[in-house]
Amino acid sequence: MSHKFEFVALSRRSLLRGAATAAMSAVAGTAMAQTAIDEVINAPRRGNWDDQFDAKASRVTAAVNSNTPILSESNQFNLLQAIGDYQAIVANGGWPQVNPGVKLKIGVVDPSVRVLRQRLMISGDLARSAGVSDSFDSYVDGAVKRFQARHGLPEDGVLGEFTLKAMNVSADVRLQQLNKNMQRFQEMKPDLGSRYVLVNIPAAYVEAVENDRVALRNTAVVGRIDRPTHAISSKIYEVILNPYWTAPRSIIEKDIVPLMRKDPTYLTRNQIRLFDGNGQEVAPETVDWNAEKAPNLMFRQDPGKINAMSSTKINFHNPNNEYMHDTPQQGLFNKLIRFESSGCIRVQNVRDLNVWLLKETPGWSRQEMERVIASRVNTPITLAQEVPVHIVYITAWSAKDRVVQFRDDIYQLDGYQELALQTNIGVEQISGSVEDDLLPQ
């Protein structure tokens, strides 16, 4: 399957301006990186954690989020600047590997903290004035949280498995990741629309963008590596409240039929009904579930709380039968690994997105929408004006000056195995299960 974006040629002026910016950034970045390394080496020794503890500092993490959209044109220049900075870091030897013998968190005193401090200073997460010592104090706690925020990790200040793996990706590999994503930015369609929806697959979140500002940002669950969400630019044309869910043929064969062999009551319990080509309902007990081929029937789940799409289905034009939707299993949005659907995009707080999408469609206030959802009546709503949607694969970007965001290369498209930190674990965790893109078990 293809994940390429629509190609466009950049203007000669844009290319020249970008090259000039990159060159200036590289020069400035080299000086900055060398200064940083010198100051790390020569930094004064800090005291122990107990005499450096600052409750206020430990609560404050430098902001890394921005209401500038990922696809904003200004971000290409931030990314060029980041490339210059990382070229300088690589030229100066990169950063050290952090291999602690104990779990590092606030209060720990261990020689590996000294290396951690150096690592965080070189990447700009820890102020050089914090000094170098063996103490994991409140300054280091804040720096680790900043690093975690930049990598889409839980901001707990603890060097757990994923934080440590992300930290030990080399500066050279991160530089190549930045270059790969700059190429993706340059290949994208330039006219995004003044009002559009963005889905960034590796970040597993949705942005509703208006006049180059993020109006709404929602956590999402996207397709796993063996059933990926496709990158595409399209238009949202319909919101369905209380949708029916009709199972795709692939899901019938791979998931539902094996489940029926184990539990003949599965379809009835999940309010899924079978229909033949004439629209006549077929009783599940009349079907031979052990036959070599799955039955040639329509599997349709009634609207309701246990429906796989719960309150909402958001349709956009695409050849892959993918869409955005609600889910009855809201706990999935609290997971670190949110790459486990069959290609569709589950959206947390989807009703907020509904309101934003329908605000130009007469008669659909929040109150009216909630009334219809409570009725459990299937209600398709055609948008008065279709809204562009851009589903992209961006693993590195910078929406804020000298703040670089990285995400795991979940579909292994960046070219480096060490960037696909969560992919294998994610597949193992969900193998053998049917996600709520299908239906609850």
Residue 392 lies in a domain: yes
Residues 166 and 198 in one domain: no
Residues 93 and 131 in one domain: yes
Q: What is the mean pLDDT of each run of 10 residues along the chain (441 residues)?
A: 41 45 50 51 46 42 80 92 97 97 94 97 94 95 95 93 95 97 90 94 96 95 93 97 90 93 94 95 96 94 86 96 89 80 92 96 95 95 97 95 93 89 47 38 35
Residues 403 and 341 in one domain: yes
Contacts within 8 Å (CB) and 24+ apart, 269-278 = 270/301, 270/306, 270/439, 270/440, 271/301, 271/302, 271/304, 271/306, 271/307, 272/247, 272/299, 272/300, 272/301, 272/302, 272/439, 273/299, 273/300, 273/301, 273/302, 274/298, 274/299, 274/300, 275/300
**Strand (E) or helix (H) holding 205:** strand 205-210
Residue 211 lies in a domain: yes
Residues 126 and 208 in one domain: no
Give residue 63's Cα distance to chain centre. Answer: 18
Residues 116 and 232 in one domain: no
Residue 437 lies in a domain: no
Residue 327's φ and ψ, nearest 5 degrees, are -150, 145
Residues 77 and 200 in one domain: no
The predicted pLDDT at position 309 comes to 85
Residues 214 and 341 in one domain: yes
Among the candidates 176, 207, 227, a domain finishes at: 176
From CA 43, how far away is CA 41, in angstroms rounded? 6
The predicted pLDDT at position 37 comes to 52
Among the candidates 147, 176, 205, a domain finishes at: 176
Residue 286 lies in a domain: no
Question: Of 94, 162, 101, 105, nearest to 419 (Cα)?
Answer: 162
- Residue pair 308/271 in contact by the 8 Å Cβ criterion: no
Residues 233 and 348 in one domain: yes
According to DSSP, residue 155 is labeled: -
Residues 211 and 318 in one domain: yes
Query: Please, what is the Cα angle at 326 between 324 and 332, to 5 degrees?
Result: 105
Question: Of 235, 232, 238, 431, nearest to 339 (Cα)?
Answer: 431
Residue 274 lies in a domain: no
From CA 405, how far away is CA 32, in angstroms rounded? 20
- Residue pair 370/237 in contact by the 8 Å Cβ criterion: no
The domain of 20 spans 12-176
Residue 188 lies in a domain: no
Residues 169 and 198 in one domain: no
Residue 340 lies in a domain: yes
Q: Which residues pair with 109 in a beta bridge?
A: 135
Residue 255 lies in a domain: no
According to DSSP, residue 240 is labeled: E
Q: Which residues pair with 200 in a beta bridge?
A: 205, 392
The predicted pLDDT at position 32 comes to 52
- Here the CATH number for the domain that contains residue 33 is 1.10.101.10
From CA 77, how far away is CA 19, in angstroms rounded? 10
Residues 232 and 132 in one domain: no
Q: Using DSSP bridges, classify how beta strands 232-241 and 272-275 pair: parallel, antiparallel or unpaired.
A: unpaired
Q: How many domains does the chain have?
A: 2
For residue 168, give the amino acid letter. Answer: N
Residues 221 and 354 in one domain: yes
The predicted pLDDT at position 417 comes to 84
Structure tokens at 122: 């070189």
- Here the CATH number for the domain that contains residue 322 is 2.40.440.10
